[in-house]
Chain A
Amino acid sequence: MNLTSDQVVLWHYGFLKLNETIVTTWAMMIVMALGAKLITRRLATEGRISRWQGALEIIVTAIEKQIKDVGLDQAEKYLPFLGTLFLFVASCSLCIVIPGYKPPTGSLSTTAALALCVFVAVPFFGIGEQGVVGYLKTYTKPTIIMLPFNIISELSRTLALAIRLFGNMMSGVMIVGILLTITPFIFPIVMTALGLLTGMVQAYIFSILSAVYIAAATRVSKPKSGLQSQPGPNHLKPAH
Chain B
Amino acid sequence: MDSNTVIAVVSIATAGLTIGIGCMCPALGEGRAVATALSSLAQQPDASATITRTLFVGLAMIESLAIYCFVVSMILIFANPFWSHVIAQTGGK
Residues of A within 8 A of B (CB): 1, 3, 69, 160, 163-164, 166-168, 170-171, 174, 201-202, 204-205, 208-209, 212, 234, 236, 239
Contacts and interface: CB of A to CB of B under 8 A. Distances in A.
Given A170-B74, A234-B50, A164 B57 contact: no
B53 A201 contact: no
Contacts of A170: 71, 74
Nearest to B60: A205
Interface of B: 49-50, 53-54, 56-57, 60-61, 63-64, 67-68, 70-71, 74-75, 78-79
A208 B67 contact: no
Contacts of A163: 64, 67-68, 71
Contact of A3 (B56, B57, B61, B79): B79
A236 B68 contact: no
Contacts of B57: 205, 208-209, 212, 236, 239
A170 B75 CA distance: 12
5 contacts: A69-B49, A163-B68, A167-B64, A167-B68, A208-B56
A11 B9 CA distance: 37
Nearest to A108: B71
Interface of B is mostly: helix
A171 B53 contact: no
A160 B56 CA distance: 16
B54 A236 contact: yes
A164 B60 contact: yes
Given A167-B68, A170-B74, 19 more contacts: A3-B74, A69-B53, A160-B64, A163-B64, A163-B67, A163-B71, A168-B67, A171-B67, A171-B70, A171-B74, A201-B60, A205-B56, A205-B57, A208-B53, A208-B57, A234-B53, A236-B53, A236-B57, A239-B61
Contacts of A164: 60, 63-64, 67
B17 to A, nearest CB: 18
A167 B67 contact: yes
B71 A167 contact: yes
A153 B47 CA distance: 29
Given A163-B67, A164-B64, A167-B68, A174 B53 contact: no
